[in-house]
């Protein structure tokens, strides 16, 4: 079956005002329904790429499309497809859990009554239902992470972008989040995951791209990558790639 | 976004603002009401009772519109500058930026929040003023137009300040060193006709003078400046500030790279 591209990026460039060249003309595609790992060291350009896809960063060259809608010229339409879970907590900690989620739905034009209904199963799935009337500041770190996921899912996005969603999360919760994300993906949501836990990417993702210094080093199915490198784990392959690119030994 | 969805998004921003304003009422509503009450008591009642009438009005009657306007100006400005700066600082402005809301709607949301707080505070100050003076309304249309346009103007000004603010100092410098002096010298406590001609001309350089006088005219039917000039100044500044905000938005408002 021919699948459409959820994300299509062509010769994408970003140079910040400081002169830092974060993306040097990268090209990649994420197929609809894929579970896609976007890996790379800190400062590689992952968050810049996500920023351009979600409208938080202006590109300086190239093209980026979400489900065939250009992120620059048809941004409003492109954004309707995306749910973003950023790296840092960025909700208002004084607001109640339910309000944070329902308000986000409102920004997408979903009426409040509908959003309250939609929020219930999401908050229950993520174990936040009992805390829905609590201000976000009273949540534990893991709960705050889950709240960010709930907020990103409230408008039923076709593409979920997770920027290091399990950073600082304990093993049990991380496994719980894996199960949840697998379920989302099985239900048809395309997922892009950035993570520094390579085991996580290996367990969850079907396609992997490694980015370093603003360039894509590899972009291929996880299975074929692992087979090509024989018995090695993703972590070993990743370290070889980054070392090779940097010309140094880690 | 369809117009209906945009309306829902706009009302969501308004609701969020309203909840926030009343959740932290001790910071947003109470201080200007208390401060203005002290002005009513000290200047209006104690000192004002010993002063000659201005434009045929008792001193307390004369200063009430100006004090209401002062609270509206300060509240509108402070709401957008602090709200935008904190949204930028905490990055929760991203909640709006990643959504399909068009940029102008995000700006309209912030500005409307400022207007709403200005109106709420103005309403409570007006209620308090009724303990000290009876107020007749001379021209309701002019009064409403002056309030709305002034609160929009200072909400836009607060937004511009919020864009440029790099720290917490940055959101208090303009209110403390620019807005407060201009407001105090904007004809709230006196009529510029009481000044020598030179100082009258200097006073005319203060834009807040026109807003206070337009509002006072709506209440009392007296103004130091012709009302059409007051509204011309208001419209002119509003257009300039709107153009600046539109330009800043195109440049990313300090929140997009």
Inside any domain, residue B233: yes
**Looking at residues A61-89, what average pLDDT do you find?**
92
- Selecting from A55, A82, A109 the residue whose C-beta is nearest the C-beta of B8 gives A109
Q: What percent of chain B has pLDDT over 90?
A: 43
The pLDDT mean for chain B works out to 88
Q: What percent of chain A has pLDDT over 70?
A: 96
- Interacting residues of B83 by C-beta distance below 8 A, sequence separation 6+: B17, B20, B110, B113, B114, B162
- Interacting residues of A21 by C-beta distance below 8 A, sequence separation 6+: A13, A14, A15, A214
Best of A58, A106, A147 to mutate (most B CBs within 10 Å, chain B): A106
Q: Give the residue numbers in B contacting A (CB under 8 Å), as ranges.
A: 1-2, 4-6, 8-9, 11-13, 15-16, 19, 23, 90-92, 94-102, 252, 256-257
Residue B138 DSSP symbol? S
3-state SS assignment for residue B215: helix
Maximum distance among all Cα pairs of chain A, rounded to whole angstroms? 57
pLDDT in tens, B196-246: 888 888 888 989 999 999 999 998 999 989 999 999 999 999 999 999 988
3-state SS assignment for residue A8: strand
pLDDT in tens, B84-137: 898 888 888 888 889 999 888 988 999 999 999 999 999 999 999 888 888 788
ipTM above 0.90? no
The total of other beta-carbon atoms located within 10 Å of residue A207's CB is: 21
pTM attached to this predicted model? 0.86
Inside any domain, residue B257: no
Given a cut of 80, whether residue B35 has pLDDT beyond it is: yes
pLDDT of residue A247: 56
Inside any domain, residue B173: yes
- Interacting residues of A237 by C-beta distance below 8 A, sequence separation 6+: A225, A226, A229
- Selecting from B23, B91, B97 the residue whose C-beta is nearest the C-beta of A88 gives B91
Inside any domain, residue B157: yes
Strands, E assignment, chain A:
5-15, 21-31, 35-39, 61-66, 69-70, 82-85, 159-163, 190-194, 207-212, 215-221
Distance CA(A71)–CA(A118), nearest Å, equals 27
Distance CA(A156)–CA(A91), nearest Å, equals 19
Q: In this structure, what are the phi and psi dihedrals at residue A222, rounded to the nearest 5 degrees? A: -55, -45
Given a cut of 50, whether residue B255 has pLDDT beyond it is: yes
Task: Return the closest-CA partner of residue B116 out of B209, B16, B212.
Answer: B16
Half-sphere exposure of A85 (CA within 13 A, CB side): 28
pLDDT in tens, A20-37: 899 999 999 999 999 999
pLDDT of residue A229: 79
Number of domains observed in the structure of chain B = 1
Q: Give the residue numbers in A contacting B (CB under 8 Å), as ranges.
A: 16-17, 48, 51, 54-58, 75-77, 79-80, 82, 84, 86, 88, 90-92, 94, 99, 103-104, 106-112, 151
The total of other beta-carbon atoms located within 10 Å of residue A61's CB is: 12
Range of the domain at B198: 3-250
Angle at B253 between CA B248 and CA B255, to 5 degrees: 165
Q: In this structure, what are the phi and psi dihedrals at residue A217, rounded to the nearest 5 degrees? A: -90, -45
Task: Return the closest-CA partner of residue A44 out of A232, A234, A209.
Answer: A209
Residue B176's alpha-carbon distances to A78, B63, B155, B184, B187, in angstroms, are: 43, 21, 16, 11, 18
Using a 10 angstrom Cβ sphere, with 0-12 exposed, 13-18 middle and 19 or more buried, the burial of residue B242 is: middle
Given a cut of 50, whether residue A2 has pLDDT beyond it is: no
Q: What percent of chain A has pLDDT over 90?
A: 54
Cβ A50 vs Cβ A194: under 8 Å? yes
Residue B41 DSSP symbol? I
Using a 10 angstrom Cβ sphere, with 0-12 exposed, 13-18 middle and 19 or more buried, the burial of residue B187 is: buried
Tell me: domain A1-81+157-173+189-250, CATH 3.30.465.10, correct? Answer: no
Strands A82-85 and A215-221: unpaired
Strands A159-163 and A82-85: parallel
> What are the residue ranges spanned by the domains of chain A?
1-81+157-173+189-250, 88-156
Q: Do B95 and A107 touch (CB under 8 A)?
A: yes
User: To which H or E segment does residue A91 belong?
Assistant: none
pLDDT of residue B173: 85
């Amino acid at each position: 079956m021919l699948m459409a591209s959820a994300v299509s990026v062509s010769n994408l460039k970003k140079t910040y005002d400081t002169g830092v060249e974060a993306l040097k003309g990268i090209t990649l595609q994420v197929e609809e329904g894929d579970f896609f790992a976007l890996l790379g060291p800190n400062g590689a350009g992952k968050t810049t790429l996500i920023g351009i896809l979600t409208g938080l960063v202006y590109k300086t060259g190239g093209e980026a499309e979400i489900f065939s809608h250009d992120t620059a010229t048809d941004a409003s339409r492109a954004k309707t497809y995306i749910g973003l879970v950023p790296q840092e907590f960025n909700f208002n900690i004084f607001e109640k859990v339910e309000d944070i989620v329902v308000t986000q739905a409102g920004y997408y034009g979903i009426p409040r009554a509908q959003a309250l209904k939609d929020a219930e199963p999401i908050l229950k799935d993520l174990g936040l239902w009992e805390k829905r009337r609590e201000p976000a500041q009273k949540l534990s770190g893991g709960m705050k992470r889950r709240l960010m996921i709930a907020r990103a899912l409230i408008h039923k996005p076709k593409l979920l972008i997770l920027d290091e969603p399990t950073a600082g999360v304990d093993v049990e919760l991380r496994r719980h989040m894996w199960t949840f994300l697998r379920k989302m993906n099985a239900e048809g949501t395309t997922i892009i995951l950035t993570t520094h836990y390579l085991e996580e990417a290996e367990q969850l993702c079907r396609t992997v791209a490694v980015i370093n210094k603003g360039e894509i080093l590899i972009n291929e199915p996880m299975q074929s990558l692992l087979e090509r490198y024989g018995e090695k784990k993703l972590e070993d392959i990743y370290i070889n790639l980054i070392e090779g690119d940097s010309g140094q030994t880690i | 976004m369809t117009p209906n969805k945009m309306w829902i998004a706009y009302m969501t921003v308004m609701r969020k603002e309203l909840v926030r304003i009343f959740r932290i009422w001790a910071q947003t509503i109470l201080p200007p009401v208390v401060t203005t009450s002290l002005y009513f008591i000290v200047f209006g009642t104690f000192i004002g009772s010993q002063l000659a009438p201005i434009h045929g009005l008792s001193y307390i009657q004369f200063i009430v519109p100006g004090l209401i306007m002062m609270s509206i100006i300060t509240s509108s400005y402070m709401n957008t500058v602090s709200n935008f700066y904190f949204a930028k600082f905490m990055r929760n402005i991203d909640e709006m930026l990643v959504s399909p809301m068009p940029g102008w709607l995000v700006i309209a949301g912030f500005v409307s929040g400022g207007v709403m707080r200005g109106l709420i505070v103005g309403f409570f100050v007006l209620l308090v003023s009724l303990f000290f003076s009876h107020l007749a309304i001379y021209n309701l249309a002019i009064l409403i137009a002056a309030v709305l346009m002034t609160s929009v103007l200072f909400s836009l000004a607060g937004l511009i300040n919020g864009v440029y603010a790099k720290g917490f100092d940055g959101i208090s410098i303009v209110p403390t060193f620019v807005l407060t002096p201009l407001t105090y010298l904007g004809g709230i406590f006196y009529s510029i006709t009481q000044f020598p001609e030179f100082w009258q001309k200097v006073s005319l350089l203060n834009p807040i003078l026109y807003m206070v006088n337009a509002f006072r005219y709506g209440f009392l039917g007296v103004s130091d400046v012709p009302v059409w000039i007051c509204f011309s100044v208001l419209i002119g500044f509003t257009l300039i500030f709107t153009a600046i905000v539109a330009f800043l938005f195109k440049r990313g408002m300090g929140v997009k790279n």
